[in-house]
Structure 1
């Protein structure tokens, strides 16, 4: 079968993990060993990086514990955070956890918003993730939400390779990786979930999206914060990115809420679409998405 040809993925495994719904489509039904392998890597990721678990490594660090052993994904994610943070002039920052807590998106889901809190701007000097240890110069809450789910999609897909022969779609509620096949994916309108602003055909790549209407808990309160102010972004409604890995696509879907995200996407060889809160749609030059809107521009 030629590369990129459509492969019928007849078997579906659906489950909930890390607070979101997963769907994995494969040619053949995944055996128990494969599902156990996926469960293991998801469990390990959650136990390291979940700020909603009091027993996680990041919660331990936030309470002043540590240093702790470097989790398997630390270098990949925190190295990427450095690039994204630099590109966005500090708008994206892994120490934004306390900022989210302040607005009510905390471990208890209190949803009671206090005054905004800026994240520490000097995070690269406060977070150390080398020499087999993850440590903080002083207690703080790490939140990897800007790219963590994408990273986990990549890890799950890799864990399942012995049983998928490289032909699968791993979808964690909109952050997905397509391998060995082609998939047409609708781009959900952020103001009306029953509509799409376009369709994107993805082959052997990842597509990740971020939207202000997802993980929103009050008037103007949602999960995409400007770390420099602790205030949710007001000008961008949704982003979609196709990149070589789900981690990069997820990171760029966050970065595109800010100035500098488009330049980083160009450096990483990614394509993107962005919808502003005024309804205007922008996309990267050469973007292959089929868009239905007329109010648009090439960035």
Structure 2
């Protein structure tokens, strides 16, 4: 995962990096599907109500809230289907010549997860993938922790999930919005405390047999969402909120335009033809895009 840390005080960078590394290590230990010893994997293996850490309870709560807010479009119980599709290890090692099975079984959904305070339960056989929402929460937590420790203004970018804390530079946080050399690009200024998330059908891609796949799966079909959108970028008060909307927008396709408008959130969507759609007072673009 690409990571960037920017601080308003250069002397604070080393301490900010230590804070971010500590936060990411804790979240990996709590919630990584790829870490066999993670707390979430232990919970799913137990199949019974278990008291979990405050961190895992927060991450599970965020995932369930995202599922509820998107009517199940962002669903943390798609883990088994991701494994079926071949995403069973870190993305760099996923490609396989083995043909892809075409059958899809819908055996789980987010409502099967129970969370009461710090007591959580996941039925046996349900594989939880907190991926998208956990990375967004991580960005929010990393920025807040680095600012709390250093007192500096901080921007943290975790693979397109961007969170800020504290004061911004005088011209705002200058962020390049682009996801590939051939994609339309622009630079926007983010205000202090504002977050942005970009969801993409161009990243985290792999092949099974002859079929190209990506990681944003429609829970209802069990297949990667149709690539109506190459990228969706959303600005919100938290990276979790921005990521929830950007991920659901990829799954909703063209229906996402009216849905985002109704929420009044600034957004930039690039369709499969490279045409840019901006909504909800998307920040002023400071440099011309490129193709």
**TM-score by shorter chain over 0.5:** yes
Q: Aligned pairs, how many?
A: 272
Residue 48, structure 1, aligned to residue 30, structure 2:
yes
| 8 Å contact from structure 1 (residues 88, 261) kept in 2 | no
Look up the match of 1:209: 198
Say which of 219, 223, 231 aligns to 1:231: 223
| 8 Å contact from structure 2 (residues 44, 123) kept in 1 | no
1:110-131 per-residue CA deviation (whole Å, 9 max, x = no partner) reads 434633645545421x101214
Distance 1:174 1:282 in 2: 19
Say which of 68, 71, 74 aligns to 2:50: 68
Distance 1:94 1:102 in 2: 15
> Which is helix-richer, 1 or 2?
2
**Pairwise CA distance, 1:41:** 2.2
Look up the match of 2:157: 171
Runs of 5+ consecutive residues of structure 1 not aligned to the other structure: 1-19, 294-299
Look up the match of 2:237: 244
SS of the residue corresponding to residue 25 of structure 2 reads: helix
Distance 2:259 2:65 in 1: 8
Distance 1:91 1:85 in 2: 6
**Pairwise CA distance, 1:257:** 0.9
- Root-mean-square deviation over aligned CA pairs: 2.9
Look up the match of 1:85: 67
| Closer, same or farther: CA 55–237 of 1 in aligned 2, 3 Å | same
| Closer, same or farther: CA 71–200 of 1 in aligned 2, 3 Å | farther
Which 10-residue stretch deviates more, 167-176 or 279-288? 279-288
Runs of 5+ consecutive residues of structure 2 not aligned to the other structure: none
| Closer, same or farther: CA 157–232 of 1 in aligned 2, 3 Å | same
**Which structure 2 residues correspond to residues 1-299 of structure 1 after superposition, within 5 A?**
20-26=1-7, 27-30=9-12, 35-107=17-89, 109-112=93-96, 114-115=100-101, 117=104, 119-120=106-107, 122-124=109-111, 126-179=112-165, 180-181=167-168, 182-188=172-178, 190=179, 192-193=180-181, 196-204=184-192, 205-218=194-207, 219-234=211-226, 235-259=228-252, 261=256, 265=260, 269-290=264-285
Distance 1:35 1:199 in 2: 25
Which 10-residue stretch deviates more, 246-255 or 100-109? 100-109
Distance 1:135 1:62 in 2: 8
Q: TM-score, normalised by structure 2?
A: 0.81
Q: TM-score, normalised by structure 1?
A: 0.79
Distance 1:51 1:42 in 2: 14
| 8 Å contact from structure 1 (residues 213, 222) kept in 2 | yes
| Closer, same or farther: CA 119–153 of 1 in aligned 2, 3 Å | farther
Which 10-residue stretch deviates more, 45-54 or 26-35? 26-35
SS of the residue corresponding to residue 186 of structure 1 reads: strand
| 8 Å contact from structure 2 (residues 204, 215) kept in 1 | yes
> Which is strand-richer, 1 or 2?
1
